[in-house]
Amino acid sequence: MNVGDAPLRVSKAAARRFLAERHMLLPPRQLPASKGSVLALVERLGSLQFDPVDLAGRSHEIVCHARIDGFEPRWVDELLYAKVPAHRALVEQYNGVLVIVPTSELPYYRRPADKRRERFWRDGSYRRLKPWADTVMARITSEGPLSAADFGPSKSVAWSWGQTPAYRAALEMLQLAGLLHLARRDGSRRWFDLAERLIPRNVLERRVSEEEQIEHTFLARHRDLGLASANGVWVQTDWPLKRKELVRRLTERGALLNIEIDGLPGPWRIPGGERFALEAAMRATAGTRPVAADPNAVTLLSPLDPLIHDRKRLETLYNFHYRWAIYTPEKKRVYGPYVMPIHAGDAIVGRVQLRRVKETGVMTIDGLWWERGAKPTRHIAGLAQAIAAHQGLLGVTAGQMPKEIADRSDGRALFRALRKIAG
């Protein structure tokens, strides 16, 4: 499509089919079981959002598991925290939120660290934390990776989220400024080391312009969504390039493509190379006898899955209202704290609450809710497969559900399907 041509017009059904296939959810768990599949997925999506909450697996693990057959969480850790820099194919970065990106793309994410370094100097943070920061840098330089616990107690200082030990604040400041990188994690404990010891030299020394970094970040957010509304990709207020200019540049280069969706205000945008995939989705969903997506192609979505990042898109395209309630007081929750949407074919048909009980090695189904108009019998077999696979992800040997679910007709059917899988 040339600049100035009328945008491609698609139906909601085509948009949903495109997203299901573009996000590797149709069929579910379609990538082969390997570390290489993790890299392929991050390349496809641009990034994975990281969150440490682990009630039923960490978010990035659930995102990978939904798309990679037999996914093992250690694969991501090995790619993130390899001792040999050349083997660190992934890296954590703060880009509004904490994300996992390809290490090769690190030069395009320097701007936030550069700006924070300037801010820490300007607002006095460095001056206030200098005694502890100097100790941190000296000890890590001579001893290697260290965590906050390795520095012992220190006085409490004001930090971004409130009072915190000075050594921890100094470590955070030096990491956010790009001087330290994460060496490894173990639960909530983090070890930090000098950037030059962890990042390949050719990556660490590469420099790209500020405009290139901003364009890359803006495009990466479109890759994450796959299909974005006109204002669905957030733009930082301190960017010298504003949304209108970014869209113009990237559409002129063919990196972004404007489309319209029947019945929804536009324009919408997809990555430029996705046009043929979108046209295939249009053909599959067109006419009086469209090709139906398999209703038993069921995937459980993380609360931070890129398919549901844009809550407004979720409601307009899927008629699905979703809020992550992990930090909502229990009395105000409508569902559970870590409810996962149930994606079936190219629709979202319900939500399920799973929980790992580490002490007993059991995964419980705390809640199961179907959307209005959903037909559970069409999805039970696929849901059972998804739950059984999730059990494997968590490394637990047994599962259970409360009586109030087990006594329902859908609960009984799900129980039978799970027993059949277990043999």
As a whole number, mean pLDDT of residues 294-311 equals 96
Residue 70 has pLDDT above 60, yes or no: yes
Pairing relationship of beta strands 156-159 and 339-344 according to DSSP bridges? unpaired
Which H/E stretch holds residue 340?
strand 339-344
What pLDDT was estimated at residue 230?
86
Q: Are 98 and 92 in contact (CB under 8 A)?
A: yes
Percent of the chain with pLDDT over 70: 99
Per residue in 234-288, pLDDT (tens digit) is: 888 889 899 999 999 999 999 999 999 999 988 999 999 999 999 999 999 998 8
* Strand positions, DSSP E, 277-327: 298-300
How many residues in the chain?
A: 423
Looking at residue 350, what is its pLDDT?
Answer: 98
From the list 130, 139, 140, 277, the residue with the least C-alpha distance to 195 is 140
Secondary structure of the chain: what % helix, strand, coil (to 5)?
A: 45, 20, 35
Beta strands 146-147 and 97-102: pairing type? unpaired
Domains and CATH numbers, the chain: 124-199 (1.10.10), 298-328+335-422 (3.40.630.30)
C-alpha to C-alpha distance for 344 and 303, rounded to whole angstroms: 16
- Per-residue pLDDT tens over the stretch 283-294: 999 988 899 999
- Integer-rounded Cα radius of gyration of the chain: 23
Whether the bond into 306 is cis, omega within 30 of 0: no
Q: Which of 2-11, 154-163, 304-313 has the lowest mean pLDDT?
A: 2-11
Specify the pairing of strand 298-300 against strand 268-271. Answer: unpaired
Mean pLDDT to the nearest integer, 184-207: 93
Token pair for residue 120?
């820490």
Q: Which two tokens stand for residue 83?
A: 């001792």
Averaged over 96-100, what is the pLDDT?
A: 87
Is 207 buried (19+), middle (13-18) or exposed (0-12) by CB count in 10 A?
exposed
Q: At what angle do helices 275-285 and 12-22 cross, to 10 degrees?
A: 130
pLDDT tens column, 347-375? 999 999 999 988 888 999 999 999 999 99
User: At residue 3, does pLDDT exceed 80?
Assistant: no
* Tens-digit pLDDT profile for residues 118-171: 999 999 999 999 999 999 999 999 999 999 999 999 999 988 878 999 999 999
Q: Which single residue is written with the structure tokens 């509304």?
A: 229
Q: Which amino acid is at 331?
A: K
Compute CA distances 371 → 272, 290, 348, 353, 375, whole Å: 33, 23, 8, 14, 9
Q: Tokens 């990034």 label which residue? A: 47
* Confidence at 2, pLDDT banded by 50, 70, 90: very low
Q: For 316-330, how does the pLDDT look when each residue is reduced to its tens digit (9 = 90+)?
A: 999 999 999 888 888
Q: Which two tokens stand for residue 292?
A: 């139906």
Strands (E), 148-195: 156-159, 162-165, 180-186, 189-194
Phi-psi region of 294 (alpha: psi -120 to 50; beta: other; left: phi over 0): beta
Express as a percent the part of the chain with pLDDT over 90: 83
**CA 88 – CA 103 distance, rounded (Å):** 7
